[in-house]
Structure 1
Amino acid sequence: MTGSFAVTKHAEGAGVIRLAVRGEIDDEVSDALAGIVANAAAQPGVTALVIDLEKVRFLAAAGISALLEGRAATLQHGCSYQVVNARGVVHGVLATTGLLSLFQTTIRRTAAHR
């Protein structure tokens, strides 16, 4: 069981929402993550979602599916979608699957890191 999984929502202004994910994204939590992303995209005034994976230690195939489902839901609502701060194993998984460019994956500094 993935007890350390959590998502924190941060309003960054101008319709941008950052979802900071922590823990492991596996088949036990993937549906929850996809639902959280879809819910955030459906909120009035949201124009962009940023999925921050800085504190994600593991990304399983189900996690990749959740990120893809979240992207589809976000685009359906007319929002942009970006994945940031994928590091280590998580970055490697996204690179190997060819998803870095699809998710516009970057390393970016948040206000807390400035």
Structure 2
Amino acid sequence: MTGSFAVSKHDDGAGVIRLAVRGEIDDEVSDALAEIVANAAAQPGVTMLVIDLEKVRFLAAAGIRALLEGRAAALQHGRAYQVVNPRGVVHGVLATTGLLSLFQTTVRRAPASRARLGS
């Protein structure tokens, strides 16, 4: 693994937990990611898990497996599951494998450019 891997947990309110993932999801970290998602899914009061991949630069086959295992854990606990903000190669991998729709994947749009003052 060449990139640092980290996951930060955010309470977005109303039972929504967002797990912001950073780095590369490969063989070395995929089991850890699957476990983190499963643990979040098991917490009381959680209604939805959102896996934010905005800062993920690489997604290996093992990473796809981790995301699928996370989805299974969420569904087992009756939680909604969504993957958001895949970029570049990660978006391409999810699109090629047909997982964008399975994960109800959304991509946050870049903010519109601001109008010039005085225009």
Fold in common (TM above 0.5): yes
Alignment length (residue pairs):
109
Question: After TM superposition, what 4+ stretches of structure 1 lie above 3 angstroms from structure 2?
Answer: none
Cα distance in 2 for residues equivalent to 1:42 and 1:14: 16
Cα distance in 2 for residues equivalent to 1:27 and 1:64: 10
Cα distance in 2 for residues equivalent to 1:91 and 1:3: 18
Number of the residue aligned with 2:67: 67
Number of the residue aligned with 2:81: 81
Number of the residue aligned with 2:107: 107
The alignment partner of 1:78 has SS state of coil
Alignment RMSD, CA only? 1.0
- The one-character-per-residue Cα deviations of 1:57-79 (angstroms, maximum 9, x if unpaired) are 00000000000000000000000
Number of the residue aligned with 1:29: 29
Cα distance in 2 for residues equivalent to 1:79 and 1:2: 33
Tell me if structure 2 keeps the 8 A contact 1:2–1:29.
no
Alpha-carbon shift at residue 3 of structure 1 (Å): 5.2
Cα distance in 1 for residues equivalent to 2:108 and 2:69: 23
Asked if residue 41 in structure 1 is aligned to residue 41 in structure 2, the reply is yes
Cα distance in 1 for residues equivalent to 2:4 and 2:29: 10
Give me the identity figure in percent: 90
Mark the structure with the bigger radius of gyration.
2
Q: Tell me, which stretches of 5 or more residues in structure 1 are unaligned?
A: 110-114
Cα distance in 1 for residues equivalent to 2:87 and 2:94: 10
Q: Tell me, which stretches of 5 or more residues in structure 2 are unaligned?
A: 110-119
- The one-character-per-residue Cα deviations of 1:47-66 (angstroms, maximum 9, x if unpaired) are 00000000000000000000
Cα distance in 2 for residues equivalent to 1:2 and 1:82: 27
Cα distance in 2 for residues equivalent to 1:25 and 1:35: 13
